């Protein structure tokens, strides 16, 4: 499935971009906020990789591995979204204080 491969590549690219931003950031709440975004991107990459595995290989082992990847990936997306929502107001406040 070319669409799934495209999503995997794009989400992994976003993961790398957010990790670079994480290293460059100096503000602690901004670091946590960017880390949450990178968790979402990596989780999406792993989850879609698991879905792609279902289409490529048709064996019992592949189904088990795909199920684990899907659960771990989308669990990471869910946890990343919760962390993103939690740290966003703090990161905004921190950015306002830093800019003033």
Residue 100, pLDDT above cutoff 90 = no
Tokens 């279902």 belong to which residue? Answer: 54
42 lies in which domain range?
A: 2-99
Report the domain count for the chain: 1
Q: Which two tokens stand for residue 86?
A: 């939690």
* Residue 37 burial by Cβ neighbours in a 10 Å radius (0-12, 13-18, 19+): buried
pLDDT in tens, 29-81: 999 999 999 999 999 999 999 999 999 988 999 999 999 999 999 999 999 99
pLDDT in tens, 9-35: 999 999 999 999 999 999 999 999 999
């Amino acid at each position: 499935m070319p669409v799934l491969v495209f999503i995997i590549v794009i989400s992994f690219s976003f993961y790398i971009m957010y990790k670079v931003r994480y290293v460059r950031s100096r503000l602690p709440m901004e670091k946590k906020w960017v880390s949450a975004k990178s968790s979402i991107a990596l989780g999406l990459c792993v989850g879609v990789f698991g879905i792609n595995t279902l289409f490529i290989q048709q064996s019992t082992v592949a189904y088990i591995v795909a199920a684990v990847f899907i659960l771990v990936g989308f669990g990471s997306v869910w946890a990343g979204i919760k962390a993103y929502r939690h740290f966003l107001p703090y990161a905004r406040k921190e950015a306002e204080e830093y800019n003033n």
